Structure 1
Amino acid sequence: MTNPSTTIGSSATVPASSTLYRGGRLYCPADPRATALLVRDGRIAWLGADDDAPGADRVVELDGALVTPAFVDAHVHATDTGLALSGLDLSATGSAREVLDAVAGFAAGLPVDAVVLGHGWDESGWSDRRVPDAAELDRAAGGRRVYLSQASLHSALCSSALLAAVPEVVRMPGYDVSGWLRRDAHHVVREVALGSVTSVQRRAAQGVALRRAASLGIAAVHECGGPEISSEEDFTAVLSRSGDGGPEVYGYWGELLGAARARELGAVGAGGDLFADGALGARTAHVSVPYADGEPGACGHGYLSAEQVRDHLVDCAAHGLQGGFHAIGDVAIGTVLAGFGLAAERLGVERLRAARHRVEHAEIMNKRLIAGFVEFGIVASMQPAFDRLWGGERRMYASRLGVERALASNPMGAMHATGVTLAFGSDSPVTPLDPWGSVRAAVAHFSPVQRLSVRAAFAAHTRGGWRALPTGFEGGAAGRGPAEGVLAPGAAATFAVWSTPAGVDGGLPVLVAADPEVRGPDDPTPLPVCRRTVLRGSVIFEDGVG
């Protein structure tokens, strides 16, 4: 009997009992000559050369495409991402005038009682860094409430109409009469602004975000929620969509001493965006050297003490959960590590290491802090695109920190070299969902000493994302086993199929130009294009190429 055959892009969305993918190139270091793999019951049952392939119920012709393990994005905000993708995108604006024009055009199509939600402006790259004030936003939006989050998500521009809805904000840390809010003032106004989004709109936004992720070869995401950045309703709604025709979703709930609540909400960890400090873009990351472009002596803000870190880790241990913290500045990271030291006095170092606790971002590090990550077995959930967008000698980090500290930021190379487990993500919508772009950013770090090989960066964005999950979940769910992020017999059939316009080298796509002079954030080398994403044997994305 002849096997039914299909090419990539045809409507093979219902998994047969066995499916053979053949005629491709497989990223399989254990068998670099493999060109085919057989999927059965959601796992890779066999891989090898086309001529040796067993029979199957269905055959998919790869036509020379590259097959790799699918990506994991280790830090996302799905609803915010969907709202940014379908709402007012301000990432391309270059001045206050352009922001106001974008707000006016967007608001014109909204009901008079709607809230204008926008995201992505970044004044650090503008020639004139003046930002619109509250009164200007009122006029541009025709009196509507306006909330425009800065690229870092840790500050926002708000209209007078929105501020009037939260009268207590004027007494909160971070309030400014201009309408540019940070810290507590930002958190409370953000809650009001996003509270205007209906459950129907939220669900639609989540769908937009997860579909985009699948279209980029992402098969799993780590959703980072918490009382300061999302609601419990929003968080559980995102988790409920896990694997429902799209990527799997693993949730982290960032609430101090909230391990019990995290478990009740269905989170795999009590961490993620549990803030030890703020962000560099908002000058609220807690750093040891004052900001070069801030108020004299300003070093940002620490939101936790070492004792609070200790108590949270002890609470996580009592509930059998992985913990974690958002920490960007070196002072904040030092506070977190001091808390680990205090927790070790109660729990022991080995128990802390076994929990695989996480720190999100870890941007401003030094040798002592890196050694602390190694000592306590801390996973570093990092975002290479931060360096691509804001690193180097002339971008936002240099403005905030000075050139020397900017080039030393996001030290992925040093952390990888000392054995820190890296898990890469986007922090979307802070930076876009763009996994190959993130791999390239790690390979082309502004500081040559911090650059990773393509293989190491790819591993951090695939297998690293699975390793960053707590013990028992690194196989996709409790009890599924550890074989994730690899193409090997017995491993989960979770992979992506790629067109590689720049070619393949060493089993992975060519991502950077051969000429060192054109490498960097504007490298013209075309990135791979996803043709199909498969999650445990089921197709969650295909692009229609036949």
Structure 2
Amino acid sequence: MAITDGTIVFVGQDSVGLALHPDAEVVQLDGAFVAPAFVDAHVHATSAGLLLIGLDLTACASLAECLDAVRKADGPLIWGHGWDETKWPEGRPPTRAELDDAAGGAQVYLSRIDVHSALASTALVDAAPGAREADGWSEDGPLSRAAHHRIRAVAKDSIPVEQRRAAQRAFLAHAASKGVAAVHECAGPDISSVDDLTELLMMVDGPQVVGYWGDTDPIDLPVAGYAGDLFVDGAIGSRTAALHQPYADAPDTSGALYQDVEAIAAHLVRCTEAKVQAGFHVIGDAAMTAIVRGFELAAEQVGAPALAARRHRLEHVEMITPDQAKVLGAFGVVASVQPLFDAEWGGPDGMYAQRLGVERGTALNPFAQLASAGMLLALGSDTPVTPVDPWAAVCAAVHHRTPGAGLSPRAAFTAHTRGGWRAAGVDDGVTGTLQPGAPATYAVWDAAELVVAGSDSRVQRWSLDPRSGVPGLPPLEPGVPLPTCLRTVLDGRVIYDAADRAQA
């Protein structure tokens, strides 16, 4: 592969390439393979960075471990993330009294793994006016809905600017080390801030940042759209995803619907007329019903062709019927999905089944159904909800825990590379591939030899035709290694090099 001024100019036999470019610098890869770099279509950079440099609760195996982690933390504000009570033997999160005892008077904000509810110490609650009177308030348990937003606002405003920037730099460097050359930042007033997004968009040393603002009011920033986490509902783990029928493990609630049909349609119309992307966070089936009806109403006002031309996007798309997928596919809708959600919480014994019952819980994230309905798929992590690990996400999309819901290896790889560019409006036919005329945006990977389970024989190293996708993937079994990133390149510029990091 030959590159000139950040653009691929030749792909083919070495002898031909060297003859055409006799003065080129030659980089030998010694058996490593090259593939288009990944695009993570849904991230929260600052929160993910705070997890990398701060209090990580994702490995806590019990309530007691979570409280011990808080006791060991220090500072006037303790920001932590990642607890998941469904995996703990106690089966519940800490009470506020338990958290206060561990915090020793500090302000503590601990977001649940899905970031749709959080634990807060009394010291932080006292600093958040109106939190106790807001929807979603709990006297002794996790806070959700408006109460959570009030608490989170106080916590994030207490983070010093330099700490916030350090978190962003840490995240971008980490993403680049995973072969990611571009990320879609799903910002918004309840998630981050205009200042946070401004600082992130100014960073140039790592992956390209495509900014989305999850609100209906415009801001003076070069965002790709008013999309991303513009919430129609919440999350299943926090029981705030809007359902037609109550939660199986909490029959007194069916979740929360934050946007009605008319508001959804109005936002779609405004964005379509302004020729920018609109989009929404949607998880529950009642929320999806509202979304589909909103698209239908918007099409009545601006016409289906104008609506489809904007490639509006939906985040998560976990509960959807085949008929709904066909309607959205006809409107050119992008489905920004997270395969590691299924790997983490899917299947008949996972959190989804616990919250919804087995029948509903095993019908989530039907990637094959979305693709067959004509929806453009873009894969991402929603980090810090799940980690930035693109090859694991590709494998999760292929090896779906519900038979028949997964993608082919080629489709999954394409959705995590070219699909991410197309979801952000880059649809020139070459970006996200390795062919002449395409931007030189790629990653170099080392893949160990794979051992066939139960056999002493070895199989060949990974091989990949970057122009057509991945011909095969190893099974998701313990001990089967995924490729290791050696270098990530964006438009011909190296943004990660494992050798440089090893020397440092």
Of 74, 78, 83 in structure 2, the residue corresponding to residue 121 of structure 1 is 83
What is the CA distance between 1:179 and its match in structure 2?
4.2
- The residue number in structure 2 matching 1:3 is none
Q: CA separation in 2, counterparts of 1:141 and 1:167?
A: 21
SS at match of 1:168: coil
Of 304, 309, 331 in structure 2, the residue corresponding to residue 376 of structure 1 is 331
Is contact 1:511-1:525 (8 Å) kept? no
Farther off after superposition, 165-174 or 353-362: 165-174
Is contact 1:159-1:179 (8 Å) kept? no
Of 116, 136, 139 in structure 1, the residue corresponding to residue 98 of structure 2 is 136
Farther off after superposition, 134-143 or 276-285: 134-143
Q: 1:112-148, CA deviations, whole angstroms, 9 ceiling, x for partnerless residues? A: xx10000001111222212111122122121100000
Q: CA separation in 2, counterparts of 1:85 and 1:492?
A: 30
**Residues 345-360 of structure 1: matches in 2 within 5 Å?**
345-360=300-315
Of 291, 306, 316 in structure 1, the residue corresponding to residue 247 of structure 2 is 291
- The residue number in structure 2 matching 1:170 is 132
Q: CA separation in 1, counterparts of 2:272 and 2:135?
A: 33
Q: Does 1:52 align with 2:13?
A: no
Q: Does 1:486 align with 2:486?
A: no
Q: 1:314-341, CA deviations, whole angstroms, 9 ceiling, x for partnerless residues? A: 1112322111000001110110111111
Q: Does 1:536 align with 2:491?
A: yes
Q: Does 1:249 align with 2:170?
A: no
Task: Give the 3 Å change call, closer, same or farther, for CA 420–56 of structure 1 in structure 2.
Answer: farther
Q: Does 1:326 align with 2:281?
A: yes
Q: CA separation in 2, counterparts of 1:506 and 1:254?
A: 37
Query: What is the root-mean-square deviation in Å for CA atoms of aligned residues?
Result: 1.4
SS at match of 1:146: strand
Query: AA paired with 2:224?
Result: V
Please, what TM-score do these two structures have when normalized by structure 1?
0.86
Query: AA paired with 1:64?
Result: G
Please, what TM-score do these two structures have when normalized by structure 2?
0.93
SS at match of 2:296: helix
Q: CA separation in 1, counterparts of 2:341 and 2:153?
A: 25
- The residue number in structure 2 matching 1:23 is none
- The residue number in structure 2 matching 1:276 is 232
Query: AA paired with 1:204?
Result: A
- The residue number in structure 2 matching 1:91 is 58
Of 211, 214, 238 in structure 1, the residue corresponding to residue 176 of structure 2 is 214
Is contact 1:511-1:527 (8 Å) kept? no
SS at match of 1:309: helix
- The residue number in structure 1 matching 2:73 is 106
Query: AA paired with 1:170?
Result: R
Query: AA paired with 1:75?
Result: H
Is contact 1:125-1:395 (8 Å) kept? no
Query: AA paired with 1:440?
Result: C
- The residue number in structure 2 matching 1:267 is 223
**Residues 390-469 of structure 1: matches in 2 within 5 Å?**
390-469=345-424
Q: CA separation in 1, counterparts of 2:28 and 2:45?
A: 33
What is the CA distance between 1:453 and its match in structure 2?
1.4
Query: AA paired with 2:262?
Result: E
Q: CA separation in 2, counterparts of 1:227 and 1:71?
A: 27
Q: CA separation in 1, counterparts of 2:471 and 2:387?
A: 20
Query: AA paired with 2:221?
Result: L
SS at match of 1:531: strand
Q: CA separation in 2, counterparts of 1:307 and 1:166?
A: 32
What is the CA distance between 1:100 and its match in structure 2?
0.4
Q: CA separation in 2, counterparts of 1:432 and 1:451?
A: 20
SS at match of 2:438: coil
What is the CA distance between 1:417 and its match in structure 2?
2.2
Q: CA separation in 1, counterparts of 2:301 and 2:338?
A: 32
- How many matched pairs? 483
Q: CA separation in 2, counterparts of 1:411 and 1:431?
A: 18
Query: AA paired with 1:211?
Result: A
Q: CA separation in 1, counterparts of 2:371 and 2:10?
A: 32
Task: Give the 3 Å change call, closer, same or farther, for CA 92–40 of structure 1 in structure 2.
Answer: same
Q: CA separation in 2, counterparts of 1:42 and 1:439?
A: 27
Identity of aligned residues (%): 49
Q: Does 1:65 align with 2:32?
A: yes
Of 192, 195, 211 in structure 2, the residue corresponding to residue 230 of structure 1 is 192
Q: CA separation in 2, counterparts of 1:132 and 1:167?
A: 23
Q: Structure 1: which 4+ aligned runs deviate by more than 6 Å?
A: none
Is contact 2:38-2:390 (8 Å) kept? yes
SS at match of 2:132: helix
Q: CA separation in 1, counterparts of 2:60 and 2:355?
A: 20
Q: Does 1:340 align with 2:295?
A: yes
Q: CA separation in 1, counterparts of 2:7 and 2:123?
A: 54
Q: CA separation in 2, counterparts of 1:363 and 1:120?
A: 20
What is the CA distance between 1:510 and its match in structure 2?
5.5
What is the CA distance between 1:528 and its match in structure 2?
0.4
What is the CA distance between 1:523 and its match in structure 2?
4.0
Query: AA paired with 1:205?
Result: A
Q: CA separation in 2, counterparts of 1:343 and 1:365?
A: 19
- The residue number in structure 2 matching 1:6 is none
Q: Does 1:203 align with 2:180?
A: no
Q: CA separation in 2, counterparts of 1:293 and 1:421?
A: 34
Is contact 1:439-1:458 (8 Å) kept? yes
Query: Structure 1 regions of 5+ residues with no counterpart?
Result: 1-36, 476-480, 514-518
What is the CA distance between 1:482 and its match in structure 2?
4.4
